[in-house]
Structures are given as C-alpha cells and as structure tokens.
Amino acid sequence: MTLAHAHNSSSFDEIREQWKEFQLLQTWSSVFLTPEWQETWWSVYGDRETLSLIDVKSINKSLGVAPLTLKDNTLRFIGDTDLFDYHDFITNDREFYPYLFESVEQLDWTSFELTSIPAWTPTFSLLPKAASERGYSVSIEFEDVVPGISLPSSWDEYLYLLNKKDRHELRRKFRRIESSGDLSLRTSNSSTLEDDLNLFISMMAGSREDKKDFLIPQRENFLQAVAYKMQECHYLKLFILELKDAPVAAVMCFDYQNTRLVYNSGYLQNFSNLSVGLILKALCIKDAIESGLGYFDLLRGPEAYKYHLGATDSSVHKIRISRSLL
C-alpha cells in the first residue's frame, strides 16, 4: 500500500469542512462525533494531551477524519467516557482503516486505546481486522450497555409495546401526578437558557449523591459550554417539567439526525414520591414520537428505569491495539 499523504492538524478550523462532509455521509453518527462537541471538550480539557486531527487519505481521495490525541505514546479519541457516550472515526469508507495505520506510522505511538466504540459501527469489525493484518496485537473488551427505544408512530402504540406491568405502572404514575395539580412540559429557548441551565445543574446535583460528586467545577464548565454550543447548532433540547407552574425536574437531551439522546437529568428530591424523573423522560419519549424521531437513546448504563420505559440493550466496547517500536 502506498500512501499519498495524510494531513495531521492541531487545529479544528483546518479540518472542520472535511469532518462535516464525512459525517453527513456516515450511515450512523452521533452528536458526540461532531466537531462542535469535540472542540468544546478540547477548549475545557485540552491542556492534557497533544491534539492530532488526521485527514486520512489514499492516493486518490480523502477517506475520513481520525480525531485523536497523543499522550505517553498512546493514541486515544478526543474526550473521555465521563462526557462522551460514543466515539468513532469520521468515515464511510472501508479503505479508511488500513490507511489510518499508514497515516500514523511516523507518530511516536506504541498503542491505541479507543473507548466507547458502538458494536454496530464498521469500526468495531474493520479496525481490528486492519490492525491484525499489520501484525499488531488487538484486544476488545466490553465497556457498557447503551439501552434505547425504537420509536413507533404514536404514543398509544408506544404504550402498547410496553410489557403489561410497565404499561400499568406508567399509567398509574401519570394519574397520580396529574391528580396533584396541573402538569406541563416546556423546552428551554435562547432567552431562558441561562436560568434553565442553572436550574438543571442544581437539580442534577440535588437528585443523587454520585451526580453531585460528578459535578466538579471543570465538568460543570463543560456542561455549560456544550449546552450553549449545541443550542447554536439547534441540537439542544433542555426539557423542564413543571407542576403547578413550578419546576420539579429537568433533563438535557440532544436531537441529532433521527435520534433523541438523553444526556443527563435531575429533579427535586421532595417530589420523588411522584416519580417526576420517570414522568419527565416518558414525556420526552412522547415529544420525540410527535416530532417524528425514530430512536430514543438512553445512553450508557443499565439503570432500571430505562427498561421500565421499554429500552433494549446495545453495547459499547474498548479496542486496544499495540505495536512494538524497534
């Protein structure tokens, strides 16, 4: 194989157009794979690694973008599993994978450690194959489940698809909260975003101890920054559930392509007896159906409520590739 050339950039601006073009061609993509998401992460955390944005090319054409970082002789995707539920290369071309290794040949690396790769993407099968053909050692390990729901065309059909017990419980919870007062769902807009973000972060921290521990200042800075960036891109859906005109729960979602992704959520503890968190997510499903979306992605983790809402599991994996430097 002869490589024409591969452009290795440390600037998002230099590679942004190719990145967006290839992302549009992918059979599957995610908001986590957009240059906007990854650049926002880099603006908060990018002092820890060397940025290596590689425009992978064959002799005749560009094949895709590898959004990588290099630290301690290890190549990784931009971002970590705390804030990225999915990672992948930006390509729709099978030739990308062997040429990727040509592209990084001169870099000072001994291993790839690539996290959060979905089992349904071409990368999951084609990257290990290309690495093995070069004589590199490859290991693949399960990381986590990613439950989600294929959405039907109506709310009634969705309810019918739930098992009998979960359908009964959901209806019972709706009756109970609706008997407590007027229930409404609103979506944040540009004029309310600042206040709604502060409300969301406060509810997130107050709903569970592990979420409070998660929200160290740097992660909170990222959540604020990425919310504004996703609002600019028209991907953000920040939902607020109100009971008697007072907010009781909030959830940050992103609508990307045909999918709604549920990123994080919170609620007021003194309303937990009314299952406000579950009710809010159910209303987000209803809204997604009415918006014509096809998939509701509950992202990483096997929390029980996801299955009560009808989710089934997919999975993400870590791929490690090692070579010897002679």
pLDDT for the residue 47: 84
- Tell whether 279 and 191 lie within a shared domain: yes
- Tell whether 124 and 169 lie within a shared domain: no
- Tell whether 211 and 109 lie within a shared domain: no
The pLDDT confidence band at residue 2, using thresholds 50, 70 and 90, is very low
CATH code, domain with 196: 3.40.630.30
- Tell whether 22 and 95 lie within a shared domain: yes
CATH code, domain with 101: 3.40.630
Does any domain span residue 303? no
- Tell whether 15 and 135 lie within a shared domain: yes
Does any domain span residue 2? no
Query: Which residue bears the tokens 């502060």?
Result: 198
pLDDT for the residue 324: 74
Examine the pLDDT at 302 and tell me if it is beyond 60.
Answer: yes
Cα–Cα distance for residue pair 279/177, rounded to 1 Å: 9
Examine the pLDDT at 314 and tell me if it is beyond 80.
Answer: yes
- Tell whether 92 and 188 lie within a shared domain: no
- Tell whether 69 and 84 lie within a shared domain: yes
Instruction: Give the tens place of pLDDT for each residue, 209-238.
Output: 999 999 999 999 999 999 999 999 999 999
Instruction: Give the tens place of pLDDT for each residue, 183-207.
Output: 999 999 999 999 999 999 999 999 9
Does any domain span residue 308? no
Instruction: Give the tens place of pLDDT for each residue, 247-294.
Output: 999 999 999 999 999 999 999 999 999 999 999 999 999 999 999 999
**What share of the chain has pLDDT > 90, as a percent?**
92
Number of structural domains found in the chain? 2
pLDDT for the residue 8: 65
Range of the structural domain that residue 47 is part of = 7-145+316-322
pLDDT average, residue stretch 27-50: 94
Cα–Cα distance for residue pair 244/247, rounded to 1 Å: 8
Q: Which of 24-28, 62-66, 81-85, 196-200 shows the lowest mean pLDDT across its residues?
A: 24-28
**Residues written for the chain:** 326
- Tell whether 174 and 82 lie within a shared domain: no
Asked whether the beta carbons of 150 and 118 are under 8 A apart, the reply is no
Asked whether the beta carbons of 33 and 256 are under 8 A apart, the reply is no
- Tell whether 212 and 277 lie within a shared domain: yes
Cα–Cα distance for residue pair 151/157, rounded to 1 Å: 9
Of 131, 133, 79, 125, the C-alpha closest to 104 is: 131
The pLDDT confidence band at residue 48, using thresholds 50, 70 and 90, is confident
- Tell whether 55 and 91 lie within a shared domain: yes
- Tell whether 16 and 96 lie within a shared domain: yes
pLDDT for the residue 194: 97
Asked whether the beta carbons of 279 and 177 are under 8 A apart, the reply is yes
- Tell whether 220 and 204 lie within a shared domain: yes
Instruction: Give the tens place of pLDDT for each residue, 67-78.
Output: 999 999 999 999
pLDDT average, residue stretch 311-322: 98
Instruction: Give the tens place of pLDDT for each residue, 135-178.
Output: 999 999 999 999 999 999 999 999 999 999 999 999 999 999 99
Q: Diameter of the chain by CA atoms?
A: 72
